[in-house]
Amino acid sequence: MKLQDFTTAREHLQKVLLPTHLIYSPIFSEESGNQIYIKPENLQKTGAFKIRGAYNKINKLTEEEKKRGVIASSAGNHAQGVAYAARELGIKAVIVMPKTTPLIKVQSTKKYGAEVVLYGDVYDDAYQKAKELEAQEGYVFVHPFDDIDVLEGQGTIALEILEEMPDAEVIVVPIGGGGLISGIAAAAKMIKPEIKIIGVEPSGAASATEALKKNKVVTLPEANTIADGTA
């Protein structure tokens, strides 16, 4: 990956992104004793940063791949990102979601024109079904994080942060699958090698921490987060 890859991705993303300028947080700044700014990616059209990676991935497909259509597995933000990106690029999108997915997320994904397949009770079930359909129908699979093109898209956030605040010393990034922090870290370090990137995850769902300790992919047997209570 080169800095030019992130720059090019950013240029292409201008067609679908809303500006999310840094917002100063008096409360967090006072609590931490630092100058804290928030990058409000929840204000994107699909409600999350996921549109960046999804659009960059789909936009870079060959014409032959675009004709085949794309498929993804997701219970929410990635689903909407892929659906929206595919609609904007005129490509068929199929999203496999667990049967337990909240109705509002299913409807939001359909609203962007995607075909939704409800399968299984958990994400892993939906993922396996999506891979089956990929093989059967010839779709192109759009992974939520384990894909260089997706990382490039997510990494454009770092370009925007450092353009707006070139003297930033630390970027704190939430960790889920790892695509966001990987993209941001790669891009930010190319621009400013001395900058620190800190990943944060819930103590009750610290899969990345465990993976680093054991030097392998770790699947937690159970994890309770605020998302469970909200659902």
User: What's residue 188's pLDDT?
Assistant: 98
Half-sphere exposure of 102 (CA within 13 A, CB side): 10
Task: Indicate left, alpha or beta for 113 from its phi (over 0: left) and psi (-120 to 50: alpha).
Answer: left
What's the rounded mean pLDDT across residues 205-212? Answer: 85
Burial of residue 26 (number of CB atoms within 10 Å: 0-12, 13-18, 19+):
exposed
Taking each helix axis from N to C end, the angle separating 148-164 and 3-13, rounded to the nearest 10 degrees, works out to 80
Cβ contacts of 36 within 8 Å, gap of 6 or more = 24, 25, 28, 29
CA–CA separation, 142 and 40 (whole Å): 24
User: What's residue 217's pLDDT?
Assistant: 77
User: What's residue 116's pLDDT?
Assistant: 97
In sequence order, the β-bridge partners of residue 199 are 173
Nearest to 156 by CA among 176, 186, 200, 178: 186
User: What's residue 206's pLDDT?
Assistant: 84
Q: Strand, helix or coil at 95?
A: strand
Stated pTM of the model: 0.91
Cβ contacts of 189 within 8 Å, gap of 6 or more = 195, 197
Whether the pLDDT of residue 231 is over 60: the answer is: no
The mean of the pLDDT values for the chain is 93
**What's the pLDDT tens digit per position in 165-197?**
999 999 999 998 899 999 999 999 999 999 999
**What's the pLDDT tens digit per position in 54-65?**
999 999 999 999
